[in-house]
Amino acid sequence: MTNYNNDSPLSKINGTRIFFAVLIGLGIVALLLVKDFNKEAFKLMPLTYSAVLFLGLAILFMVFRDLGYMIRIRILSKNDLSWRQSFRVIMLWEFSSALMPSAVGGTTIAMIFVNKEGINLGRSTAVVMATSFLDELYFILMFPLLLLIIKVNRLFDVGIGGEFIWFAVIGYFLKLIYTVILSYGLFVNPRGLKWLLLLLFKLPFLRKFRYGAYITGTDIVTSSTQLKQEKFGFWLKAFIATFFSWTSRYWVVNALMLAFFTIPDHFLLFARQLVMSNMMLLSPTPGASGVSEYIFTQYLGDLIPVQAAVLGSVSVLLAFLWRLISYYPYLIIGALILPNWLKISFRRKHNKKT
Residue 37 lies in a domain: yes
pLDDT tens profile 167-215: 677 778 888 888 898 888 888 888 887 887 777 777 776 677 677 778 7
What is the DSSP secondary structure assignment for residue 82, as one 8-state letter? -
Number of domains in the chain: 1
CB 21 within 8 A of CB 287: yes
**Residue 2: inside a domain:** no
Q: Does the residue 216 lie in any domain? A: yes
pLDDT score of 44: 87
- Beta bridge partner(s), residue 286: 101
For residue 122, count other CB atoms closer than 10 A to its CB. 15
Q: State residue 3's pLDDT score.
A: 45
Q: Which residues in 265-298 are b (16+ Cβ under 10 Å) and which e?
A: eeebbbbbbbbbbbbbeebebbbbbbbbbbbbbb
pLDDT of residue 67: 97
For 284, the domain range is 9-353
Which stretches of the chain score pLDDT less than 70?
1-17, 19, 33, 36-37, 102-108, 157-164, 167, 205-206, 209, 282, 346-354
Confirm whether 116 is domain-assigned. Answer: yes
| Residue 178 domain-assigned (yes or no) | yes
pTM for the model: 0.85
**One-letter amino acid for residue 218 of the chain:** T
Asked if the structure places residue 3 within a domain, the reply is: no
1 in a domain, yes or no? no
pLDDT in tens, 46-86: 889 999 999 999 999 999 999 999 999 999 999 999 999 99
